[in-house]
Structure 1
Amino acid sequence: MKKSMLLVGAFLAVAAMAQAKEVVPAPVVVEEAPVQIVEKEVIVYRDKEEGFRPNGYVDLQYRYYGDTEGNGTNYSSKPADNRADGWNTNNNYSRIQFQGNINMTEKQNLEWRIRGYNSLDENDKSNPTAKDNGTETRLRYFYDHGYLGDSKVDLTSRVHYQNNADDAYQNVEYQARFDFADYMFNNDMFKTDYFVVAPKVGYTWSDDNSSDYSNQVGFDVYTWHTLPWGFSTEFNLYFTQNFYGQDQAFNNGNDMEDKNFTIDMEFYIYNTTNLYTNGNFSLDFGFEGGYDPYTWSQEKKFGSADGDNLGTDDSKYSLYALPYLQANYAVTENMTVYAAAGAEYRDWTVDNGHSASNWRWQPTAWAGFKTTF
């Protein structure tokens, strides 16, 4: 019995020692799976750059000209060969004008203006002041060559064609137009829109293709400035040396010359002031006026309207003012209809430099539409 107790005690002692001994776990080996990199195609969607689209505008207008203030009051008392009483000789007529501009490419531009004149008194033989019927056509093609080298001078070529309604002549002209606007003064109050110097060559011929023609060389200056409060100004100069196919009469017929040098000056002031706006409707007060044009001639070619001292003056000018009210309605984002009425004040007939006189009012009204594309 005692021996058994000793065996049990020894066993318990060994068990206790085994429990007290630290158990160290065997290391576990973990195999890592290989990392696979899969490249996928990434598609980036971008807005396609819109290419050039032809753009421009079209304007169709009907205009009425009434009887000039006091016109014709002296016709019945004057002899038939001296009826020009200093008033306007173009009265009570209409004009349909179709004009537009299209940018055909980023560098090419075509501009057109066609005017059809129609007398509303053509059957009234008692008043010889009715406007004759006729059509005037003007076409202009522009090509922008871009800036000259590293400068800010933009060069544009212009080809011009015109067939007037009141004479039997046609004209074609080429200009190299250098725009120096980026070198001109500009600030928040005064902006130079363009300042163009344009050497030119031209040719004018009669409709019957006779020797009654002329060649022209010279240069023009064109400027436009935008001012505050709706004002803008236009100032142009035209320097032209004419070479005639036939000798021309000057100085009341006493001089015959085959060439002549002229300078024309145009100066205009424009203003548009909004009076009322409601939605798509607006009412504006407009004004334009100035020299249209002032002309100086090396040879004496201007005279009074009644035939006295004809061709004994070397200058003439037409000075006018045209205030008007214009209503506009935007039918769509790209189309506007308009109507206007006003009166033009001008020295209509006696316009030679030393005796310009007889400024008179002529009422006028017009309506039309303009659409852009």
Structure 2
Amino acid sequence: MKKTFLSVTIASLLLATTAFAANESQEQFVPNGSLTASQTFYGNSGKYKTATSKPELIFDYNFTPEWNVNAQWTRSTNLHDYDQNNHYNQNNNTSTPEININYNHGYLGNSKIKWTSNVNYKNFTVMSAPTVNENYAWVTTTFDFAEYMPSSEYAKTTQFAIMPAYAYGWDSQSGHSGHMNSGAIAFLGSWALPANFTFNMQAYLIRDFYNGGQKMNKVNSQGESIKSYSTETYGAFFAYLNYARDIYKFNENTALSFNFIGGMDPYMIGNKKSSGWFPFFVGNQQYQWTEPTVQQGNTKNQYIAFALPTLQVTAKLTEDISATIYAGAKYSNQVWGDTSKDWKLQPQGGLSLTYNF
């Protein structure tokens, strides 16, 4: 099944290249892109040591009307990992490069269904003990029915899509073994609401298959593994409310804005009580960058919820370069499992510089 899905996706991308050649007579397209460098700092969440630093580079390039490539690299320093007894390890420095190749097929046949596909690769490396070197390759294809959905003055559907997906993960660290296969079907929806609000939701049904060192573990109250699983089924639900508004304009090139995002990130259910693994499609889709500090080890019923208001100043320095300074505080549940507790406030802020070309 996985080979068939992968073959169909790659074949559709190759056929799309031929279709583009036949449309060269269309209005001339000018390739364009952007490069963004950012640095974010995170403070502690109350008694939990969560202070860290995250530099990031993002390259995005549209080299034809249909083809886009996005590459990003994220670093971290001084991450803290907690166990179930609130013990933690410091200085878990990570590196996460990722590349995504995206293709817009246009409309599916004579319908109003928008069709897009992408092929992706990510590496996750922890450079301090215990070291980790995990790799993930995945493909998705998305069918968007938004133009069939009714709209009103109170809500306009901007996405109403289904997305089949397949991922393969493996551990390339010397002396380690194991891999995972993951199949998923997702619903993706977004709506524009009055007064600058938007609402986004995603629902995933995921089936994971594990081998070797990537098997799922069931743990006891001391965090010791007492059983392992080679398969697991998950359901995950994400829901975000967004708000953005300029609140003061210094001049035509500089403005102060207020932004808010909050919601479920995610609510998750699983068919086994286990810990030691976060499903790839769930972790890859999270809005929050830092995960909860303590994990109780029960994927049957758990959730992450947060609210993040932010103030930011954006200045257009030249026609091609803009800079942003931002500060905010995230309020979220820092411990989750059978129950949720210890809601804490975590300050964060940073700056970014974007070059458009």
What range is the shorter-chain TM-score in? Answer: 0.7 to 0.9
Q: Distance in 1 between matches of 2:261 and 2:351?
A: 17
**Structure 1 residues 131 and 186: alpha-carbon distance in aligned structure 2, compared to 1, 3 A threshold:** farther
Q: Structure 2 CA distance, aligned partners of 1:67 and 1:305?
A: 11
Greater C-alpha Rg: 1
Shift, 1:302, TM fit: 4.7
Query: Is the aligned partner of 1:245 residue 2:211?
Result: yes
SS at match of 1:168: strand
TM-score of the two chains, using structure 2 as the length reference:
0.76
Return the structure number with greater strand share: 2
2:77–2:92: 8 Å Cα contact kept in structure 1?
Answer: yes
User: Structure 1: any 5+ residue segments left out of the alignment?
Assistant: 1-47, 72-86, 122-126
Q: Could you say which residue in structure 2 is the equivalent of 1:277?
A: 249
1:90·1:129 contact (CA, 8 Å) conserved in 2? no
Distance, in Å, in 2 between the alignment partners of 1:154 and 1:177 is: 8
Matching residue of 2:331: 345
Matched, 1:258 2:230: yes
Three-state SS of the structure 2 residue aligned to 1:138 is: strand
2:68 pairs with one of 105, 109, 112:
109
Identity of aligned residues (%): 26
1:316 to 299, 302, 323: 302
Q: Tell me if 1:155 matches 2:84.
A: no
Indicate if the aligned counterparts of 1:146 and 1:156 stay in contact, CA closer than 8 A. Answer: yes
Secondary structure in 2 matching 1:164: strand
Deviation at 1:341, TM superposition (A): 0.9
Residues 117-166 of structure 1: CA deviation (Å, up to 9, x unaligned):
12399xxxxx9564521111222111122211111112211112122355
Q: What is the identity, as a one-letter code, of the residue corresponding to 1:262?
A: Y
Aligned counterparts of 1:164 and 1:334: Cα–Cα separation in 2: 32
SS at match of 2:160: strand
Number of aligned positions between the proteins = 299
Provide the C-alpha distance between the structure 1 equivalents of 2:55 and 2:143, rounded to a whole number of angstroms.
Answer: 33
Tell me the TM-score normalized by structure 1: 0.73
Aligned to 1:327: 313
Alignment-mate amino acid for residue 64 of structure 1? F
Q: Which range is displaced more, 210-219 or 175-184? A: 210-219
Cα RMSD of the aligned pairs, angstroms, is: 2.7
Note the 1:334-373 alignment, pairs <5 A. Answer: 334-348=320-334, 350-352=335-337, 354-373=338-357
What is the Cα deviation at residue 254 of structure 1? Answer: 5.0
Do residues 185 (structure 1) and 158 (structure 2) align? no
Matched, 1:290 2:255: no
Q: Aligned partner of 1:296: which letter?
A: I
CA distance in 1, matches of 2:351, 2:73: 16
Aligned residue for 1:218? Answer: 184
Deviations 1:57-95, CA, capped at 9 Å, x for gaps: 2221111112222x2xxxxxxxxxxxxxxx3x432x211
- C-alpha change, 1:186 and 1:131, in structure 2 (3 Å) is farther
Query: How far has the Cα of 1:311 moved from its partner?
Result: 3.7
Q: Report the secondary structure of 2:150's partner residue.
A: coil
CA spacing shift, 1:273–1:217, aligned 2, 3 Å: same
Aligned residues of 1:302 and 1:314 also touching (Cα < 8 A): no
Determine if the alignment matches structure 1 residue 64 to structure 2 residue 47. Answer: no
Runs ≥4 in structure 1, deviation > 6 angstroms?
303-307
